[in-house]
Structures are given as structure tokens and as C-alpha cells.
Chain A
Amino acid sequence: MTALVLSVLLVILILLRIPVTFAIMISGLLGLIVIGRGDVIDGVLETIPASSVNSFTLSAIPLFIFMAQLILLSGLLDSLFDAARSVVGRVRGGTAVAAVGAGTAFAAVSGSSTASAATLAFTSVGRMIDEGYNPKTASGIVAAVGTLAAMIPPSIALVFYAITAETSVGDQLIAGFLPGILLALAIIVTMYITILRKTDSAPRGKRTALSEKTSSIVKASPILILFAAVVGSIYIGVATPTEAAALGCLAAFLLAAVYRRATFEGLINSVMETVKSTAMIFAVIISAHVFGHFITETKVAPTIVEWIEGLAFPAFAIMLIIGLFYVVLGFFMDQIAIIALTVPIVAPVVEALGYDLIWFGILVVVLAEIGLVTPPLGLNVFVVSKSAGRPVGEVFRGAIPYVVALLTVALIFLIWPEIVLWIPESR
């Protein structure tokens, strides 16, 4: 009961514009006082702030963010977008398809969904609107495409899930590959469905000569170097998945240098943007651990687990309810907070129901990604709105069809877990 009251308080504080991190921390500390364990606050605050970030695997988070910032600096995404556009040519909705294609390729070297959406918006939304796309359609697509970065490896969300659920980081990352491709297809299909309903919103692409196609592909080919640095170094055994992130940063830096974009100012800006995003994520992790300590002390988690196991519902129905719970959380919280707050409690239930934790990681990340494009807290929508200079409400409305698409894909994963587990289990 106390746990429920404090969780409601947490949501109220978040809605009152208390920064999410501080809202979580305050609710956790108040909760400890309410249940009469105020005397352990000293111990909690002497241990958790240090030990919740004292994990080497966590270093992949700042490193993947830094890598994305350096790629942004290098201007590679512009080349990717141009290449995709010229390859697609005179197809209806060509530029939008190109944005999805460039976003998918970019996802293979970017670990951050939000950074990916911001970068993509900067590059492509303006161009799509200029070509006559409905601004709502253009910005909505980009906000949704950004979410691919959290599914196709590398992915910060999957790394953090693996740390929290204690699954293998390598397996968890590789498991995201196929679902990521499916998500990309779902986004394209959704885009065409919206286009067919309103033909004016998606003009044809530009016809391009073969030579033009070739030269633009060559210009975008350095993405392969980045991909090789991250995935290749893991595959040939030079680096662990955690270390590969640092090699990715090095490769992205060299790329920016070769493209003559690595100015002192640009580099400082990349570092500072990374520092801020990292600190936000780490602060959320620390706060979530404090709140988690309160939840542990209430002993509510084992009660819930027992209760669910005692239910006469089939496992599938319970998983469906858990899935809906994640969609609701996504309205108010960001991915890291959702994973840090819920996975330690929900993972044992999922295992008890006979589901695989690697699979669950994919499901949780898809569902938490939906939260990135739903109000009131939809980070991808916020950054797209900012980068593209479009109103937030418009982007939220434009993203609605993709929310449906992501939900459908999540449902498919729920019904056929083997789709997700096929690659990790066949290795």
C-alpha cells in the first residue's frame, strides 16, 4: 500500500515538473521515512550513490553517446541520407523511405534513440517539408525512426537492461538485430498506409542517374568503418562489447577528423553534450536504486510475484498485462528510469512464467520506446520538435500511427517469442 501511495506521489511530482531524477529520489527517501526506516537513510546514501555507478559495463553508455555525438559532428548522416535518397529514386514517398533507410543504417552505429532522432530530424525533416510533405508526417516519421537505434545493436537501453537483468550483454545486443529490422519494416509499412490515405502528403522522390547513385553511396561508405570498429572488433575477439564502444568513439573521431569537421569547438561541444546526457542517465540510475531500496524494504515485490504466480490466468495473459503496464509507464518516464525501477521486480515474474529474459529485454525496450513518442513525456518528440523547429503537438500527432506500429510489433514478439530468440539461440 505504501509502495502504491509513493508511486502515485512519484507520478504527481513528475507531472509538476520536478526533474524526474529528483522526483524518484524524493519519493524513495520519503517512502523509507513513512515505513519507519528513516534510520537507514544514512547507510543508503553512503552506499548507493557510489555502488550504483561502480560497474564497468555502464561505461558503454557514455561511450555510445559520445560516439553518436562524434558521428553527428562528422556529418556522416547527411551523406547517408543523400545516398538513401538517390538509391530510392523516384518512388512515391521516396525521401521518407530514405529517411527510414538512413535512420536504420545510423541505428547500426548509434546506441541512443534520442540522439538518433535529433540527428535525423536535423538532417531530413526540413528537406521533406520543402519537398511538400505534410510537416506532421515528416516529423512523426523521424521521431519513430529514432527508436530503431535502441533496438539495432549497439544500444544503450539493451546494455542497461542486460546489466539490470543480469543477462549476457553480447547476447542481449545481438538479440536486438532482427527485431530492429522488423521495426524498420513496420515503420515503412505504416508510412505507406498513412500515405495511401492522403496522397498529397508524400511526393515522389527525385530520379537519379546510376553514376549519381554510386558516388553518393561511396560518400556514405565510411559508416562501414564505424560498423567494423564496433561489431567487427567484438566478432574477431579484439574487444568485449563494453570495450567496443571506446573503439567506436575513436573511429568516429577519426572520421570527423578526415571530414575536417573535428574543430576544437565542435569536439568540446560533443564532449559536453555527452557529459550532460550521461550525467542525466546516471542520476536516474542512482535515484532508481534509492527508490528500489525502499521497494525492497516494503517487501511488496515478492508479494506481487507470489500473487501473480497464484493467478489462474495463462502466462500469456499475465505478460499482456505486464506489457500494458510498461506502455503506461512510458507516458511519464524515460527508458532508463523504467528499466531501473521495474526490471529487478518484474524479471523474476517473467522467469517464473517460463519466458526468456533476453526476449523480455527486447519487449521492454520496444515498449519503453513507445513512451519516447507519447505525451506528456516523449523525449524523441521533444528533440525532433527542437531540431526541426516544429511544434511539439504536431510531432506527437504525427507519431500516433507509429505508436500503433510499435504496439503491433510488440504484440507479435509477445505471441511469437521465437522470432526474437532465433538469432541468439542459433549462435
Chain B
Amino acid sequence: AGPGVDSDDVTLKFAEGFSASHPIAANGSMYFLDRLREEGPDVGISVEFYPSSQLGSFEDVPTMLSSGIADISDVVPAYLSAQLPLSSAFDLPGYTTDSCVGAAAVSRSVAEGSTAREQEIEQLGVRPLWSVLLTGYELMTSEPTTDPHGRQGAILRSPGGAVDRVVDAMGAAGVSMPLGDMYEAASRGTVDGTVASPTSMAPYKLAEVLPNSTIGAELGSVAVLYSISEQQWSELNDEQRVVVTEAAEATEQNLCAKLNELLPEAQDQMEKDGTTLHRLTPDQKSEWAQEVSMPARENWRSDLTDMGLPAEAVLEEWEAALRKEESADE
């Protein structure tokens, strides 16, 4: 029996890089698991879940998928800058804070036939199932600022990827530092701040050491492409593919809606913990867009183009997808 006809039972190994309680896993992967556990048995699918990078780190996900260590896992372009440089376009600042618009646009930008898919995702032998866009990165600092260049010369921890360019555009100096060292480094003034997502930083209670945060600077996002290995996909029969695909689509929608609820909640939580939130006025927002987002994107485009990559095409497809999703949303 060839692919698509094979009706053998299959066990899908799902390797989750985040811990099961991380918002992305708790509202996404767990939802997907529940769906598959409910509907999978009818078509011969069972699933095993390994959270917290037990089967390998984020950097290893492509090899884990291609070697069969896992069948489904989270491909994060920000952690795979050498393998997925083009897909880091989705992390660039100033595009959207709406996770649903973002996730749908990411899925559209990595769909079959897209430049990112053909240029780099297919090379990894993986097939995206559902997308996540963790939006709303903000500047969290010891000294308050609402001015895009207000922290010029400051030393900011950057989680890497597109944020490196944002830090650069602010005229600050980026350091990479393990998250575990961050609290200590911020409390001692080794670093002056960080660019991070309120949703993932709220639990760290940074208020004591970084008592200020912008709201509305929109300094970037992190895209996550939950993917299945092409190998495993080719072994699924049509019925199984339908179940997996439908579960994935439902997961994308459920998760993005939850992330949209969580972002303001996380900001409130930070405020409750003692962070002063500096909400930017529309004028200030457009200033940040002009002074930080635009240069960061331009810089990304020219650097990747110089390397011979079709950065222009990916950026155009990404922006077109966003426009489409935004208008569909209205």
C-alpha cells in the first residue's frame, strides 16, 4: 500500500519545547492533544506527549523530526536563525498585536507554494500544521522612557533573532544572556533592560528590578510553526490527515484567541506587581514605528538580500497575508 492508502495504526510522538504550563502549550498543544485523543482513535491515531524539551532542545527540532525522534514538534524560527533566516520576517516589529491575525497570516505565508516554504521550510523535511504568533514585545527597563531613542547607549538583553535589530535601531547595545541570569543582572544594573513579551515575562515578576515597561511600542513577535515531519505525514492515510489537519486548524484558532485575552491580562499583572506601564499615545506609537520598526525591518531586508536570500519576496508575501487577514477580520 502506498501513501494515502495505508490504514495502519500510528502513534504520533509530540515533542513540545515549552513546559506544559507555558501559555502557548497550555492553550495550544494541550488543546491539540485533547482533540487527537478524542478523535484520533477512530482513525487509528494515538499520541504521546513530551513537554519541556525532554526529547531535545528548540535548536534540535529539525533533526528530531527528520530522524524520527519526534513526529510533531514546534519549529521556532527565532531559535533556528541559520536554518530559517527568512521565516524570522514574522518576528519583525510593528506588524500586529492581534495573535489571530498574526497566526493566520503566518500560516498563509508558509503555505505550500510560498517563498519561505519552498526556500527553507521544505529543506528541513517538515510540514507546518498550525502557527502561533506571540505578539506585543515591549521594552522593559530600569529607567522610564517613552522615546524611541530614550535608551540610547543602554545595555539591553535581547532574546535574539529579529529583536537584535530592534535593539540596534533604538541605539542600544544588545547582549545575549540566559534568562536565568536576567533577574540578577537587572537587579545589579549589569543590564538596563530587555525586550520581551509580557505574556511570557509576567510570571517572572521583574517589576522589582525592571520597574518600567512601554505598552504599544510593538517591538516584535515570536512565530512558532508546529510541524509534522514529511516522513510521518506521508505515512498517514487520508482519513488520518483530515483528523490531524482539522485538529491543527482548531488549535490555531483556540490558541490565538486565548493569547489575545492573555496579553492585556499579562500587562495588568505586571502593573499589579508594581511595574509602571507607559502607554504610548498614537503620536508616540507612530514615532516608534518610524524610528524603530521601519529601520529594523529595512535592515533585515537588506542584510538578508545581501546574503542572496529572497527577503523582499518573503516580506511582500507576509505583508500581503497580514492585509488579507486584517480585512477578513473586520
Contact = CB atoms under 8 A, between A and B. Distances in A.
Interface in A188-243: 234-242
A56 B178 contact: yes
Contact of A240 (B50, B54, B57, B181): B181
A40 interface: yes
A263 B184 CA distance: 37
**What is the interface residue range for chain B against chain A?**
20 to 34
A235 B188 contact: yes
B67 A240 contact: no
B133 to A, nearest CB: 25
A170 B178 contact: no
Contacts of B57: 47, 51, 54
Contact of B180 (A51, A169, A236, A237): A169
B64 A240 contact: no
Interface stretch (A140-148, A160-168, A251-259): A160-168
A57 B190 contact: no
A236 B188 contact: yes
A241 B182 CA distance: 11
A43 B181 contact: no
B183 A170 contact: yes
B69 A170 contact: no
A234 B63 contact: no
B72 to A, nearest CB: 15
Given A40-B69, A47-B56, A234 B178 contact: no
A43 B66 contact: yes
B242 interface: no
B124 to A, nearest CB: 13
A47 B184 contact: no
B3 interface: no
Contacts of B184: 168-171, 234, 240-241
A43 B180 contact: no
Contacts of B181: 57, 168-170, 240-242
A425 interface: no
B180 A44 contact: no
Contacts of B177: 56, 240
A397 interface: no
Contacts of B54: 296, 344
A42 interface: yes
Contacts of A167: 180
A165 to B, nearest CB: 10
B63 A47 contact: yes
Interface in A119-169: 162-163, 166-169
Interface string B62-84: 01101111000000000000000
A43 B64 CA distance: 6
A238 B180 contact: no
Interface string A318-361: 00000000000000000000000000100000000000000000
Given A240-B177, A242-B181, A47 B64 contact: yes
A235 B181 CA distance: 13
Interface string B147-191: 000000000000000000000000000001110110111001110
Contacts of B178: 55-57, 169, 242
Contacts, number: 78
Contact of A162 (B60, B64, B180, B190): B180
B67 A43 contact: yes
Given A43-B63, A43-B69, A51-B59, A57 B180 contact: yes
Interface string A260-283: 000000000000000000000000
B55 interface: yes
A414 to B, nearest CB: 26
A293 interface: yes
A44, A47, A169, most chain B CB atoms within 10 A: A47
Interface in A368-425: none
B49 to A, nearest CB: 10
Given A43-B67, A57-B180, A296-B50, A240 B185 contact: yes
A425 to B, nearest CB: 14
B177, B184, B189, most chain A CB atoms within 10 A: B184
A255 B37 CA distance: 64
Nearest to A174: B184
Contacts of B189: 237
B188 A237 contact: yes
Nearest to B181: A240
Nearest to A295: B54
Interface string B87-120: 0000000000000000000000000000000000
Nearest to B184: A170
Contacts of B180: 57, 162-163, 166-169
A43 B61 CA distance: 10
A416 B312 CA distance: 62
A239 B183 contact: no
Nearest to A348: B52
Contacts of A168: 180-181, 183-184
Given A55-B178, A162-B180, A241-B184, A43 B68 contact: yes
A42 B67 contact: yes
Nearest to A172: B180
B39 to A, nearest CB: 23
A47 B60 contact: yes
Contacts of B50: 296
A162 B180 CA distance: 9
Nearest to B62: A47
Contacts of A236: 188
A299 B69 CA distance: 14
A232 to B, nearest CB: 11
A240 B190 contact: yes
Interface of A: 39-40, 42-44, 46-48, 51, 54-57, 162-163, 166-171, 234-242, 293, 296, 299, 344
Closest 10 CB pairs of A and B: A43-B67, A237-B188, A170-B184, A47-B60, A237-B189, A43-B69, A240-B181, A237-B190, A40-B69, A296-B54
21 contacts: A40-B67, A43-B63, A44-B67, A44-B69, A46-B67, A47-B60, A47-B63, A51-B56, A54-B57, A54-B59, A56-B178, A169-B181, A234-B184, A235-B188, A238-B190, A240-B190, A241-B181, A241-B184, A296-B50, A296-B55, A299-B48
Given A43-B64, A168-B183, A240-B177, 16 more contacts: A40-B67, A42-B67, A43-B66, A43-B67, A46-B63, A46-B67, A47-B56, A47-B63, A55-B178, A167-B180, A169-B181, A170-B184, A240-B181, A241-B181, A242-B181, A299-B48
